[in-house]
């Protein structure tokens, strides 16, 4: 195929679906993966009709340790290779660490951390060989500020993705592979509906803190094209990230302790 292929995880809605449309609008074929096959097929059909590119629906569950291999096998079955990888799949796990099960926490780590590292590791050599590649790791503003009570591993995994992306960025400066961590704040998507905090965040957070999924994905696309290692979309989020850098640690942690119940479910 003359066109390059972009693989997007968590593509059935929100930021993932927005990334799929943006990449398709720039001439990429897209491989869409998530658990909901009906959503993927509908989006693939829309993209083919709207943008005139190929779109493949590859249903898979990245909480399954075999999920990454299943996704890549779906790409290979189409005779394709991955030129762009958007690691977007993710969710929040409400509750404190002690009151949640290890089975749930283990699945969370598989989706949020292990599958990201595995996918990146398996597609990166081909990108380097072809002297072209783009990897976007959808992290979060939560990875740039102190952790909050509840959703215990969320900020930890997002902070990992920031450091991971920075290292990959530096390792590949001369290879033609661009790597960026996208760190959005509160984004209009299904994220808070799925984790049961929609009413909580809608009532307690001002509208100016929120961005649309399309705006977030557009910022991520621009950042990885420019090979910026970290992208924080939106002026309010940039301000919060900057303040978190300069505040003394104990002040920042106290602030998070005071405000965390506005957006975390303990």
Say how far apart CA 194 and CA 90 lie, in whole Å: 11
Q: How far is CA 113 from CA 49, 65, 160, 212, 221, in A?
A: 34, 12, 8, 25, 21
Look at the block and give the residue holding tokens 């690691």: 87
Look at the block and give the residue holding tokens 């996704």: 71
CA-based angle 93:249:234, to the nearest 5? 60
Say how far apart CA 1 and CA 223 lie, in whole Å: 26
Q: Is 53 left (phi over 0), alpha (psi -120 to 50) or beta?
A: beta
Q: Which residues pair with 31 in a beta bridge?
A: 7, 56
97 catalytic residue (yes or no): no
Say how far apart CA 78 and CA 146 lie, in whole Å: 43
User: 44, 24 in Cβ contact below 8 A?
Assistant: no
Say how far apart CA 52 and CA 29 lie, in whole Å: 9
Q: Which of 28, 56, 154, 221 is catalytic?
A: 154
Helices of type H across the chain:
14-25, 37-51, 67-77, 102-109, 115-130, 152-171, 191-194, 198-204, 213-225, 235-246, 249-259
Residues designated as active site? 154
């Amino acid at each position: 195929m003359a066109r390059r292929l972009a693989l997007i995880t968590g593509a059935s809605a929100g930021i993932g679906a927005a990334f799929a449309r943006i990449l398709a609008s720039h001439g990429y074929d897209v491989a869409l993966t998530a658990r909901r096959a009906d959503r993927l097929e509908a989006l693939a059909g829309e993209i083919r009709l709207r943008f005139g590119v190929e779109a493949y629906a590859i249903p898979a569950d990245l909480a399954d340790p075999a999920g990454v291999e299943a996704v890549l096998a779906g790409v290979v079955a189409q005779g394709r290779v991955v030129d762009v990888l958007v690691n977007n799949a993710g969710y929040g796990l409400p509750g404190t660490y002690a009151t949640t099960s290890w089975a749930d926490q283990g699945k969370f780590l598989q989706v949020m951390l292990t599958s990201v590292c595995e996918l990146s590791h398996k597609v990166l050599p081909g990108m380097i060989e072809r002297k072209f590649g783009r990897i976007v790791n959808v992290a979060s503003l939560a990875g740039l500020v102190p952790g909050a009570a509840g959703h215990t591993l969320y900020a930890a995994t997002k902070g990992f993705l920031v450091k991971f992306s920075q290292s990959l960025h530096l390792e590949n400066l001369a290879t033609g592979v661009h790597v960026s961590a996208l760190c959005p704040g509160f984004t209009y998507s299904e994220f808070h509906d799925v984790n049961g905090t929609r009413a909580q965040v809608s009532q307690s957070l001002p509208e100016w803190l929120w961005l649309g999924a399309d705006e977030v994905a557009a910022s991520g696309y621009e950042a990885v094209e420019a090979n910026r290692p970290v992208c924080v979309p939106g002026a309010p989020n940039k301000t919060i990230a900057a303040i978190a850098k300069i505040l003394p640690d104990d002040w920042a942690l106290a602030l998070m302790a005071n405000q965390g119940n506005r957006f975390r479910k303990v």
